[in-house]
Structure 1
């Protein structure tokens, strides 16, 4: 099975609860953010560190327009954060992504000892599982995080 097929299957399994049914990954960045096209031609942004996956464009034309927007480009390329991550963690080995130990949605930050590299598939599983568990909680809710090995 090719890497892209594995990635599509994992997105569907780990994030399918959002409604995404991916057919292709269009872009990815060093933090594991993915732009994926679904079976209806819509484009989704999966953002593991923010534990989010949502439609950002209804068509290729809308996606192209997003990539002309400076604010979107700054957010997508994450240049200052990628530079910080490279300084703290070194260059990315194959199939690994930068990721906060404690996801941003759980009050983690992007700097210092909170940044690590993780296997991309593990990142998708971890963030998708957390997202599914907290999706109905109001912002600011207290949670108890249990790590089971």
Structure 2
């Protein structure tokens, strides 16, 4: 089932509200759960669940320019990851995307056995929670995962 716009916004506001962004609309999302969103002022932002960041882009022209960058397209399309995930896990169901297991999100481990299929709303909650918990930690700091999201290993 495809998540409703309201469900996506509720998840963004709850899980990523600590960033100060007042989410208003999801413009698009990739098969790896990256999102192009707007805030209540009409500014565009890029949500990257892999690195736990919401990147301010600015107006629509700035967002178009960012999305047209080759490096952005490589990350957005993630052809090798999507192919590996599809081969190992099958196509995502309606409302699902591919992502990394929680421990792989933290470690940056993009190996195919760390890929999962996950509901986009669940990924928003999970990645926002992880990003909030580790945002001030130095690289290499030990991390102990605590999440209320069930069924994700």
State the TM-score, normalizing by the size of structure 2: 0.86
Partner in structure 1 of residue 28 of structure 2: 27
Alpha-carbon distance in 2 for matches of 1:124, 1:68:
24
Q: What aligned pairs does 1:86-125 form with structure 2 within 5 A after superposition?
A: 86-125=86-125
Partner in structure 2 of residue 138 of structure 1: 138
Q: What aligned pairs does 1:33-52 form with structure 2 within 5 A after superposition?
A: 33-52=34-53
Once the two structures are superposed, residues 43-66 of structure 1 have per-residue CA deviations (whole angstroms, 9 ceiling, x without a partner) of 1111223322221x1110111112
Partner in structure 1 of residue 72 of structure 2: 72
Alpha-carbon distance in 2 for matches of 1:104, 1:54:
21
- Would you identify which runs of 4 or more consecutive aligned residues in structure 1 move more than 3 Å? 102-105, 146-149
Deviation at 1:147, TM superposition (A): 6.3
Extract unaligned runs of 5+ from structure 1: none
Alpha-carbon distance in 2 for matches of 1:141, 1:126:
20
Extract unaligned runs of 5+ from structure 2: none
State the TM-score, normalizing by the size of structure 1: 0.88
Give the aligned length: 147
Once the two structures are superposed, residues 82-128 of structure 1 have per-residue CA deviations (whole angstroms, 9 ceiling, x without a partner) of 11111111101011111111354421422232111112111111111
Deviation at 1:37, TM superposition (A): 0.6
